Amino acid sequence: MNIIENLNSILWVLFGVLTVVEAVLRGVPRLRANPFVAGMMETLDSFWIAMAVALSLKAVWVQPFTIPSGSMEDTLQVGDYILVKKYEYGYSFLNQTPRFLEFQKPQRRDVVVFVFPEDRSKDFIKRCIGIPGDVVELKDSQLYVNGQLQVEPYVKHVMTPMTAISEDGVDSVKVNFGPVTVEPGHYFMMGDNRDNSYDSRYWGQLDEKLIKGRAWFIYWHSVGYAGFAALAALAVAAFTLAALVWALATQRSASPAEAADSQAKAELLKNHLWTIVVCCVLAAGIIGAMGVPNFRDNVQALQQRMFKVIR
């Protein structure tokens, strides 16, 4: 199960479980009188508040999404984890009401996340090509909006117009489409990977009620489970090494009265050293199993894409 994709369900389930546990503990006076239960209730209170804040932020501020397909390459790649600003375009209650609390409306070239009109259990991400009133047309795979040829440095083509026509026929919407006028309250959406995108050319214009938000930035790129485990092991080793260096730098000569404390510190330093060794050995084993070139490529992709603003 992809944790990020199912984050909404996971958070709500955890919130529900915590709420039930809180209600039970508070509803039984004998349990509250127990010191252990009283201490546990304080911890649960903290978790409950944290969950409530997280769900509130996710509902009105930002929400994580993953990129499952290549329809937005090279702007977004499979395995990118992005944050979406939900507040910018305002809100529609259950995707049924007119939008309210709008800071602004979607503009041409915005990258937008929305509920897929043909299957509302899915979310899609595309680029806004046309806003209400625009006339959108494709000629020989070139985009025209209101009669003007659009310069689109983000667009990727994987086939020539002749190849598209030979595969799809003379009516291929990858080559020629429209002109169509964008209706009021609707937007025309297309993927940057024009020849591999299921978008408004196929399923029509997007009702503004289905918009979820504007793509903001990439906060992570998938390196696979093995790569993540290797990076986690190296991170633990690095933090432990920093703690060990700090402990050695601040260690003072112990007086006889501090002998027991010094022994405890020595044992702690020994544990730190063992942690570093174990983590490094574990990381080396994982990297060796997945291949050094493969690990290096994954890390380079992560470095290039992390915290990249989506434009």
* 109 & 244 share domain: no
For residue 33, the enclosing domain spans 7-60
How many domains would you assign to the chain?
3
Q: Between the CA atoms of 34, 35, 38 and 39, what dihedral angle is there, to the nearest 10 degrees?
A: -150
Q: Is 182 helix (H, G, I), strand (E, B) or coil?
A: coil
Residue 115 corresponds to which amino acid? V
* 117 & 142 share domain: yes
Residue 56 phi/psi, 5-degree rounding, is: -65, -45
* 190 & 245 share domain: no
* Predicted pLDDT of residue 72: 97
- Taking CA atoms, 122 is separated from 66, 119, 208, 252, in Å, by 12, 6, 16, 60
How confident is the prediction for the chain on average, in pLDDT? 88
In a domain, 106, yes or no: yes
In a domain, 1, yes or no: no
Q: What average pLDDT does this structure show over 128-149?
A: 97
The answer, yes or no, to whether residue 241 has pLDDT greater than 80, is yes
The answer, yes or no, to whether residue 218 has pLDDT greater than 90, is yes
* 284 & 169 share domain: no
In a domain, 110, yes or no: yes
The CB-side HSE value for 157 (13 A sphere, CA atoms) comes to 14
- CATH code for position 90: 2.10.109.10
In a domain, 56, yes or no: yes
Does 126 participate in catalysis according to the annotation?
Answer: yes
Out of 86, 92, 126, 141, the active site residue is 126
Sequence-separated (6 or more) residues with CB below 8 Å from residue 92: 98, 99, 100, 208, 209, 210, 211
Among residues 172, 200, 220, the one where a domain terminates is 220
The answer, yes or no, to whether residue 1 has pLDDT greater than 50, is no
Given pLDDT bands bounded at 50, 70 and 90, which one contains residue 244? Answer: confident
* 73 & 189 share domain: yes
Among residues 176, 193, 220, the one where a domain terminates is 220
* Predicted pLDDT of residue 6: 61
Percent of the chain with pLDDT over 70: 92
* 138 & 279 share domain: no
The answer, yes or no, to whether residue 210 has pLDDT greater than 90, is yes
24 alpha carbon, distance to own chain's centre: 35
In a domain, 273, yes or no: yes
* 25 & 154 share domain: no
The answer, yes or no, to whether residue 262 has pLDDT greater than 80, is no
In a domain, 267, yes or no: yes
Among residues 220, 247, 273, the one where a domain terminates is 220
In a domain, 2, yes or no: no
**Alpha carbon distance 174, 189 (integer Å):** 14
In a domain, 271, yes or no: yes
* Predicted pLDDT of residue 252: 58
Tens of pLDDT, residue by residue over 4-27, are 556 667 777 888 888 888 787 777
* Predicted pLDDT of residue 291: 93
**Cβ contact 51:15 at 8 Å:** yes
pTM (predicted TM-score): 0.80
Listed range (14-28, 206-220, 259-273) with the worst mean pLDDT: 259-273
* 188 & 133 share domain: yes
* 111 & 206 share domain: yes
* 85 & 17 share domain: no
Tens of pLDDT, residue by residue over 159-209, are 999 999 999 999 999 999 999 999 999 999 999 999 999 999 999 999 999
Q: What is the DSSP letter of 79?
A: T
* 97 & 213 share domain: yes
* 99 & 184 share domain: yes
**Cβ contact 251:188 at 8 Å:** no
Given pLDDT bands bounded at 50, 70 and 90, which one contains residue 272? Answer: confident
The answer, yes or no, to whether residue 143 has pLDDT greater than 70, is yes
* Predicted pLDDT of residue 255: 52
Does 253 participate in catalysis according to the annotation?
Answer: no
Percent of the chain with pLDDT over 90: 64
